Amino acid sequence: MSDKNSSSARYFKRWTESDISVELITGVILFSILIALILFRGYFQTHDPYVGDLMERFSPMGQNGHLLGTDNLGRDLWSRLLEGMMWSISAASMATLIAFVMGAFVGLLAAQYGGWIRTILNQVVDMALAFPNLIIAIIVVAVIGRGFWPLTLTLGLVSWPIFARVIYAESLSLLERDYVIASHTFGAGTWSILSGHILPGLRPTLSVMLAFHFADMLVAESALSFLGLGAPLGVPTWGNLLQQSRDFLFVAPWLMAVPAAGIIYAVFTANLIGDGFSALARRRGRRIDI
């Protein structure tokens, strides 16, 4: 028994002294649960999310086999939450990816080549950052219409300057490192330096940024859907569920509490992962300012 306790103590000591933080592990576990619910939602849904029974409208949580109750049309709220989760998480992920790709391209281009290219790109980024992102997104979506791709493209296109600014500043710092200068001296090409030195050096910062930006995009997507400018009305996204629950707040408060809890869970999970990556970078001697 003493040997088992001592081995457990040694394992716990190695784990607590490792670089991986509790926040990161917890965030990854919680996010894995979220992904599992999305991928296998058909197995977890207890009812058809689009079909209701008017005889069971406003059923409270746990009644008649409805885990989270039903809405004003008798549709199962748990099944609708899972169905909307796929739309909301996918939209936030795609918007984050679009913003990252555009921002990384512009930031690396400006840092690597300098001169008039850097001047023009910096001016473009400054002008883009001067306008409120959510206001621009509302205007653009109102003009081009609703839908998954209009929404994700809009959110990505209005938020890429954040990535561009941070990647540009970090890349400039990395390009001044001795090992990068030495690579230039020995004839290393641009792509070799980017792939071998710059991108690995940007990994800690980008890990934190992607996690936090995903949370921002999820909130933005839910806000636009709540305002009637995001997903089509028939899609049970979390923002649409919030919007549809306004008229029944005092009759069935769980209609608003359930999608709100889903948004809070996803945002909290993303922030945990971001905090975990930030703590990981600090333990390895890196400072991240976003």
For residue 168, is it within any domain?
yes
For residue 287, is it within any domain?
yes
Structure-token pair, residue 197: 């030195």
Q: State how far the Cα of 44 lies from the Cα of 179, in Å rounded to an integer.
A: 52
pLDDT tier for residue 17 given thresholds of 50, 70 and 90: very low
pLDDT tier for residue 66 given thresholds of 50, 70 and 90: confident
For residue 75, is it within any domain?
no
For residue 60, is it within any domain?
no
pLDDT attached to residue 7: 54
Per the model's pLDDT, the better-predicted residue between 236 and 117 turns out to be 236
pLDDT at 280 over 60: yes
For residue 38, is it within any domain?
no
Structure-token pair, residue 46: 């207890």
pLDDT at 286 over 60: no
Q: Dihedral (C-alpha) 91, 95, 97, 103: value to the nearest 10 degrees?
A: 180
- The CATH number of whichever domain residue 160 belongs to comes to 1.10.3720.10
User: By percentage, how much of the chain surpasses pLDDT 90?
Assistant: 13
pLDDT attached to residue 254: 83
pLDDT tier for residue 264 given thresholds of 50, 70 and 90: very high
Element of type H or E holding 2: helix 2-17
Segment 208-235 shows an average pLDDT of: 86
Q: Total domain count for the chain? A: 1
User: Coil, strand, or helix at residue 70?
Assistant: strand
What are the pLDDT digits (tens) for 185-210?
666 666 666 766 677 778 888 888 89
Q: State how far the Cα of 162 lies from the Cα of 168, in Å rounded to an integer.
A: 10
Question: What is the domain range of residue 184?
Answer: 84-290
For residue 247, is it within any domain?
yes
pLDDT attached to residue 232: 79
For residue 54, is it within any domain?
no
User: By percentage, how much of the chain surpasses pLDDT 70?
Assistant: 82
For residue 44, is it within any domain?
no
Segment 267-281 shows an average pLDDT of: 85
pLDDT attached to residue 179: 63
Q: State how far the Cα of 49 lies from the Cα of 46, in Å rounded to an integer.
A: 9
